[in-house]
Amino acid sequence: MKARELLCRRLTDPGIIAVVRARRAEQVPPLAEALVAGGVTAIEVTLTTPDALAALRTTATQLGERALVGVGTVLNEDQCRAALAAGAQFVVSPIARRELVPLAHAAEKPVMLGAYTPTEAQLVHETGADFVKLFPADTLGPAFIKALRAPLPHLKIVPTGGVDLRTLAEFFRAGCVAVGVGSSLITADILAREDWTALTDLARQYVAARRALR
């Protein structure tokens, strides 16, 4: 089995991808440790985090095989190359930037491109991207995804935006292979207080909610 395929499997089990927009780069390693302690082992460090690549590199080294540390909010090829060089194990873009696919795949890393409409989602699939990031999903919801997958069941959809403990089950039941969870997991209060114990507890709740569906 290829390395990229193995990474894709890890991203979908349990299928909770934590979207990290930290206030400072120094918050990312302890934040990631807290997530892993709660069972969330896919961590997307967005480039909107200050010194994001340094935070990614440090966190990936610290966690080793215990988790996948990827990069988010990638908008161009230069950012993708830099993130891969820093150790990103998966690449996420909020837009359909097809040029990122060959770069990530050459490094044997999964890539997820953004889409909002059925046409965009299918075009993302046709680029060879491993996943379709449906964004922002809060304005569309699980019913949209269920309807979308009726004629397009091959799409591997990962919604981001609007996923919380209340809606998580609905998104998975609609056919999503994973979900991206940001501020409902890594809350503003947790970041402000750096309450990593609370983050671990909340991560456990998300993982338990996902496991309960199987």
Q: Which residues are annotated as catalytic?
A: 44, 133
Phi then psi for 207, rounded to 5 degrees? -65, -40
CA dihedral 71, 166, 183, 54 (to 10 degrees): -30
Q: Measuring CA to CA, which residue among 153, 103, 156, 114 is closest to residue 136?
A: 114
Pairing of strands 179-181, 16-20: parallel
The single residue listed with the structure tokens 């302890």 is 30
Question: DSSP secondary structure string, 45-88?
Answer: EETTSTTHHHHHHHHHHHHGGG-EEEEE---SHHHHHHHHHTT-
Structure tokens at 165: 């403990």
Question: DSSP secondary structure string, 12-38?
Answer: TSS-EEEEE--SSGGGHHHHHHHHHHT
Residue 96 and residue 114 in contact, taking contact as beta carbons nearer than 8 Å: yes
